[in-house]
Amino acid sequence: MLFGAIEAGGTKFVCGIGSEYGEILEKFTIPTTTPNETMERVIGYFKGKHFDAIGIGSFGPVDLHKSSSTYGYITSTPKPYWGQFNFLGEIQKEFPIPIGFDTDVNAAALGEKEWGAARDVDSCMYMTVGTGIGVGAVVNGELLHGLTHPEMGHIFIRRHEKDLFEGSCPYHKDCLEGMASGYAIEKRWGKKGIELARTAKVWELEAYYLAQAIANYILILSPKKIVLGGGVMKQQQLISMIRNRVTGLLNGYLQHENITSGQIEDYIVLPSLGENAGLCGALALAKKGYFRR
């Protein structure tokens, strides 16, 4: 069985075809321009190919309420032209087959649970630390939705006492994304993260913020696996700094061997689907959409 997959990001769209076992057979990258132009190229790519369902993991915010008149829309994004865009509808019009639609990060969480680093558990969280910070989660095997989809990148965290950066979030200034996204790193230090790879204090501060957020996610959601992806996590020193700080913050309160007895390396992990995490996630959404018909 074959599925179409669309990883829709603010910078680029990755489209592909894959199998029900999570193998990506081909993929095609398109820069994100206007909705019209981008969708024309997406549809052009899939047209004439064979697949049984499509999965879309989209940048957001998106409307995921199936009973809503704007279900499948990208809603209040500040990205020009994309606000109130009927993404699902445009694809459905061309391809009258099952479509799974969710946020990019929920898709990535589902992909890692199906075929990746979280395939041995029924609940997990996928956090991407890139230009922005997004988090998706699977709870009891289902993607986490509620009043809206979670927006965990914007939680309020404690400022480091020596950090004078005001924060870069247009809504909340110094929320997590405002203090620890790739964009915040560049704004604070005047250089991109990749150019600061050897500046220890940059990554100590980054670990300080990310660990605090992750400790709160653990206390609130109690995921069975935490997968950390995105460009900022490519700093290889970062994940062990985060693990140490999370253990320190929780301070023995949560009595679980994953946290207390040195097994945190198997609890807070990197994505095992690597570059294909997003596309595999969209593939997993397609599979879910297909079997839910």
How far, in Å, CA of 23 to CA of 162, rounded?
A: 46
Q: What is the dihedral of CA 103, 107, 110, 116, to 10 degrees?
A: -140
* Cis peptide upstream of residue 61 (ω within 30 degrees of 0): yes
53-58 and 2-8 strand pairing:
parallel
Instruction: Enumerate residues 231-250 that contact a copy of itself by CB under 8 A.
Output: 249-250
- Name the token pair of 159: 């400022």
Please name which of 245, 135, 246 lies closest in space to residue 124, comparing C-alpha atoms.
135
Identity of the residue, 61 or 231, whose beta carbon is nearer to a copy of itself in the bound complex: 61
Structure tokens at 55: 């999965």
Q: CA-to-CA distance for 63 and 80, rounded, in angstroms?
A: 18
Nearest to 8 by CA among 65, 67, 54, 53: 54
According to CB under 8 A, which one of 150, 178, 193, 278 is a site residue for a copy of itself?
A: 150
Q: Looking at 41, 119, 159, 187, which residue binds a copy of itself (CB under 8 A)? A: 159
CA separation for the pair 231, 194 (Å, rounded): 9
C-beta closer to a copy of itself: residue 155 or 286: 155
Among residues 215, 268, 282, 286, the one that binds a copy of itself under rule CB under 8 A? 215
Binding mask 168-187 for a copy of itself (x = CB under 8 A): ---xx---------------
Q: Is 276 in the site for a copy of itself (CB under 8 A)?
A: no
140 touching a copy of itself, by CB under 8 A: yes
Place of tokens 């790739």: 182
84 is a contact residue toward a copy of itself (CB under 8 A): no
The structure tokens listed for 180 are 């620890």
Q: Does 148 bind a copy of itself (CB under 8 A)?
A: yes
CB 143 within 8 A of CB 136: yes
- Beta carbon of residue 283, minimum distance to a copy of itself (angstroms, whole number): 23
Query: Mask 246-275, x = binds a copy of itself (CB under 8 A)?
Result: ---xxxxxxxx-xx-------x--------
Rank residues 212 and 235 by Cβ distance to a copy of itself and give the closer one.
212
Question: Is residue 147 a contact point for a copy of itself (CB under 8 A)?
Answer: yes
Q: Which amino acid is at 149?
A: H
- Please report whether residue 157 would count as binding a copy of itself according to CB under 8 A: yes
Nearer to a copy of itself, 20 or 151 (CB): 151
Q: What are the residues binding a copy of itself (CB under 8 A)?
A: 61, 75-76, 123, 135, 139-140, 142, 144-152, 154-159, 171-172, 212, 215-224, 249-256, 258-259, 267
